[in-house]
A and B are shown apart, each in its own frame.
Chain A
């Protein structure tokens, strides 16, 4: 299970936490990553997988004023992305545009097309409209949820609506439902909350503590994957919020303890494959990326019978564990163009792109 160094590596200069798939780039498989260095000049790397898929090429290197805590790429324009950054105490979020003809320029500067500067507490993340050309953008800080409308041509961004999550909730992140563009999930200390963007009201919540990361299944409606400190990865059906329909690490611990005696460490990132059903990646403190096959009972036959079956089924859900990392892995992104490829970013600034093709057949 110990994955050898099958991946293609790429080194960032500094420590880093975030990497994103450049969804809008339909010609190449590219990723964008930002560094997290408190004292150095931070950088944004545009990385492209060479056509042969054998090496990672730096397509662009841009300096970024502050250390980057979150980064997401615009789904319709490959040159636009957003970052959440901080310097010491101050936090900010901005939308950037990679300058045209950057290949020719020696030290190209990112063009800031909008600052999400309505926040008054620590910003956690930005979310783009899940797919297609749309001017909506969400940013989440510790207490609030902002819906922005972006005009990329006029280079303006405006708060469209805003809602406070309440004093007691410290929001930590979120995800935009790709199936229902009016719904956004946000995570906080004790629960996962669901918001309706039309009314900006909370519609529902899952009482589940210490969720680190959340992702929607892009293929299957109503399926949500969460990663948390305490017990690994949970898969939820949004129509039955009481209990998760599947617990991945639980099964992992239940079945694999004899082979793998590592205790549970924090899982920091979880991502659903955009194409293949039930493939989930997770990464965290254990310096490894795990590929799971988590086929929750299909949404059509949620009878108790099939649930029972899925519980008693003793197939090992862990397909592979890529453990060739030196440090904790915080960044994780599937390529939407080539959905069997994913990029991971460990804290020491190493980007590793792996192909899961050998494991697809196993599934």
Chain B
């Protein structure tokens, strides 16, 4: 037992467990043991088992027990044996008793079976007699039964005949009580009989009932078509009609037609209503109509929906047609909308219409859920809204170009450009703001349709703006006549456009482009960012559809383009004038200069016109005068200017030559002159650039000619005059000065005998001219401030009237007018109208009267009037161009006059001094 140390409890426990398990699973383990092993494991319990071995048991007992327990066991066992014996005896006794009683029963049975045979025979006999009797009864009653059955059949038949005879009246009753269902049941019941005997015995009856049925059918049809009937009733009617074998399909078609017609009516109604909306001009009423439209509309739609619902119930298999109908309805609605859009409606109206449609669609959707009508209408409204946005933009475009090209009537002539600019600016900002507002209304609305389209709308609006501005740029180009059109319409437009294009318009467009770039686009971008962001259906790689940077770039370049175009147009106009001036006379035989040439006036006039245009449109620049140190290159030339004047005044060809050399030398040393700097959107910059261009072309024209001394002097005089007058207006004085010098140098170079005018004479002539111009335009606000203009005071008016007459006449003298009689009659009287002129042009006579103001003003107004008369005359008589040619020819005619007048001028000056 060495294992006792730690394993015993475990072993014990395991063993017990095993035993328990084995006793549980096998009821009798010792039985299964083989015999040889039984001794080994035998216990005292085996006494009650079948494999009990007495010897073994004994041995075991003896081995295991002590004496006392053996004795006790003995006693126990003896008692048990005694008990067992008694039990056994009892069992044997009971079994015996049972055996005896069984024997007794068998004996009794043997006795009872003996009398049974005779009884059985009796029974058989009696059954036989019963059978014969019942056969007799059966045969005796057979005949009667047959008869009864026949009678019964006849009765049934009679009842049916009775029913058929009653049918018409029964049907009539049914009709009366509107129990059509019963009537139909009866009629269908009677139908087989009518089929079998209808032609023979029941003819009348059949006819009558058929008549009744016809009535029924008619009633049923009426019922079916009657909107007032309940849907069930109508459905029942349809069912009954079907049972009566009535061609229901035709009914269906009819009903469908009715529905279609209904749609048509509805549509008609809606267009009428919308017509009313459009037709109404007063804005306050619009709200009302917009509300009333849906209400009346809704009502009719309800009806339609009800009808559809009924139809659907009545004809359950008619989906397709109904779908088609519904689609038709929606399509028609949208067609109406498209028409509306064409007529330019505002978004509230569009919203109203869309709302109507949407309610309709929702209603229809209830009735026909599987039509996907909402999808369909979503698609349609997508188109409609897109169309709306597109058309809004195109209207905006039209508005703007209208504002550009058609200035407001009644605007003062002088400010028409400004008004056009203002109007178009307004059109751009207000128009686009309005458009945005419109679109915002679309967005803000919580209409189911539009909510779904929200992102798309945002994209469209953005795209729309992008597109709109591109188109606006194109439109501008078209208006400027500078588009690259396709070859087909190019020829046409070029002819028409070029004539139409006004230089002012181009200037307006230039400034408008700048405005769009600087003001409108940022504002629109802001607005868009505020309320139209988050579209992005297009996907992020494209970014937002509206790219302000690109549009800004387009318009910046457009602004510059138009400004250049304007400058070029204006400069070219002057350039033509200059060309005429230089190609016409024979410069080699030029006469001595007596006064500043006409073309200078025309040039200044042009500049003045430019000035008025520019003033209206462009802002004033920072008034920085181009100081001489600003541009390096010009210093020499401008400094050399007084110097050269000095030299020129020495009046020797030699000097002139050395001066030429000097210029060349100067050119060598100085930097290349930056004459053309960047053009800015300011009055000064534009005017300066035009002047520069003109001077440059003047130089070119001069270079093409050869001058005699007088010709050169004339140029010198003209240039000197221009120089003094233009100095005030232009910006880049140094460059302009340089250009003036260049012209004079060019003339000197091309002169056979370049001896300049003596400074006193030059000065005198210029002063004379200045006096003249200042008197001519004492009140006019010419942009080129004439330095001596201040001198034009009342005192000047006292100068002899004859002098003024000459001034007036001189400026009126055109080559084309040579040969026309002309007469000016200055009135010497002191009474109010003091200046009066009568101009006879061929057969026509015009008189000019100046009536107010001081004398000089009268003269000015007279001059202007007579100028306009002449202009009209010239244009009326279609003289090829209005550029005046050499005035010399004329002045040579009245040379004496001229000289006297000059004298007069001088005299007047002296008087003043």
Binding site for B on A (CB under 8 A): 15, 38-39, 86, 88-89, 170, 210, 229-231, 240, 242-243, 245, 247, 250, 253-254, 257-258, 261-266, 268, 285, 287, 304, 307-308, 311-312, 326, 328, 347-348
Contacts and interface: CB of A to CB of B under 8 A. Distances in A.
A242 B487 CA distance: 10
Contact of A229 (B487, B575, B586, B706): B575
B487 A304 contact: yes
Contacts of A326: 667, 672
Given A86-B706, A265-B693, A15 B567 contact: no
Interface string B707-746: 0000000000000000000000000000000000000000
Contacts of B572: 229-230
B561 A39 contact: no
Contact of B557 (A38, A245, A258, A287): A258
Contacts of A245: 487
A243 B494 contact: yes
B878 interface: no
A261 B567 CA distance: 12
Interface residues of B, number: 43
B141 to A, nearest CB: 115
B487 A243 contact: yes
A307 B487 contact: yes
Contact of A257 (B557, B586, B664, B751): B557
Nearest to B493: A243
Contacts of B672: 287, 326
30 contacts: A38-B706, A39-B752, A86-B706, A89-B586, A89-B588, A89-B706, A229-B572, A229-B575, A230-B572, A243-B491, A253-B565, A254-B482, A257-B564, A258-B556, A261-B560, A261-B678, A262-B676, A263-B571, A263-B676, A264-B568, A265-B697, A266-B696, A266-B700, A285-B696, A304-B486, A304-B488, A307-B486, A312-B484, A348-B664, A348-B667
Nearest to A87: B706
Contact of B486 (A240, A242, A311, A347): A311
A263 B693 contact: yes
A240 B487 CA distance: 10
B697 A266 contact: yes
Contacts of B486: 304, 307-308, 311
B750 interface: yes
Contacts of A304: 486-488
B752 to A, nearest CB: 6
A285 to B, nearest CB: 6
A38 B749 contact: yes
Contact of B561 (A89, A170, A247, A254): A254
Contacts, number: 93
Contacts of A264: 564, 568
Contacts of B700: 266, 268, 285, 328
B703 A347 contact: yes
Contact of B706 (A88, A210, A263, A308): A88
Interface string B682-698: 00000001000100110
Contacts of A230: 568, 572
Contacts of A347: 703
Interface in B554-598: 556-557, 560-561, 564-565, 567-568, 571-572, 575-576, 579, 583, 586, 588-589
| Closest 9 pairs between A and B when the two form their complex, measured CB to CB | A311-B484, A242-B491, A89-B588, A261-B678, A307-B487, A243-B490, A262-B676, A257-B560, A243-B491
B346 interface: no
B697 A285 contact: yes
B697 A258 contact: no
B883 interface: no
Contacts of A210: 576, 579
A263 B567 contact: yes
Contacts of B60: none
Contacts of A86: 706
A262 B556 CA distance: 16
Nearest to A170: B583
Contact of B749 (A15, A254, A287): A15
A230 B567 CA distance: 12
A257 B561 contact: yes
Contact of B679 (A229, A253, A263): A263
A38 B752 contact: yes
Contact of A263 (B491, B689, B749): B689
Interface of B: 482, 484, 486-488, 490-491, 494, 556-557, 560-561, 564-565, 567-568, 571-572, 575-576, 579, 583, 586, 588-589, 657, 664, 667, 672, 676, 678-679, 689, 693, 696-697, 700, 703, 706, 749-752
B588 A265 contact: no
A268 B700 CA distance: 10
B317 to A, nearest CB: 56
Contacts of A38: 706, 749-752
Contacts of A88: 588, 706, 752
Given A38-B749, A243-B490, A266-B700, A250 B560 contact: no
Nearest to B750: A38
A264 B563 CA distance: 12
Nearest to A212: B700
Contacts of B488: 304
A263 B564 contact: yes
A257 to B, nearest CB: 5
Given A88-B752, A258-B556, A308-B486, A265 B491 contact: no
A3 to B, nearest CB: 13
B206 to A, nearest CB: 82
Given A253-B561, A326-B667, 16 more contacts: A38-B706, A38-B749, A88-B588, A89-B589, A242-B491, A247-B484, A250-B484, A253-B564, A257-B561, A257-B564, A261-B678, A263-B679, A263-B689, A265-B693, A312-B484, A326-B672
Contacts of A250: 482, 484
A263 B568 contact: yes
Contacts of A240: 487
A162 B703 CA distance: 30
Contact of A261 (B484, B679, B706, B751): B679
A183 to B, nearest CB: 23
A38 B672 CA distance: 26
Contacts of A307: 486-487
Nearest to A14: B749
A247 B483 CA distance: 11
A318 B204 CA distance: 108
Best-surrounded residue of B490, B494, B567 (most CB of chain A within 10 A): B490
B885 to A, nearest CB: 14
Contacts of A257: 557, 560-561, 564
A257 B566 CA distance: 14
Contacts of A261: 560, 564, 676, 678-679
Nearest to B485: A311
B56 to A, nearest CB: 126
Contacts of A266: 696-697, 700
A198 B697 CA distance: 39
A89 B703 CA distance: 15
A310 to B, nearest CB: 9
A337 B575 CA distance: 39
Contact of A265 (B490, B557, B657, B696): B696
B871 to A, nearest CB: 22
Contacts of A263: 564, 567-568, 571, 676, 679, 689, 693
Contacts of B571: 263
A140 to B, nearest CB: 16
B618 to A, nearest CB: 16
Contacts of A243: 487, 490-491, 494
Nearest to A251: B484
A86 B587 CA distance: 14
A258 B568 CA distance: 16
Contacts of B482: 250, 254
Nearest to A237: B487
Contacts of A311: 484, 486
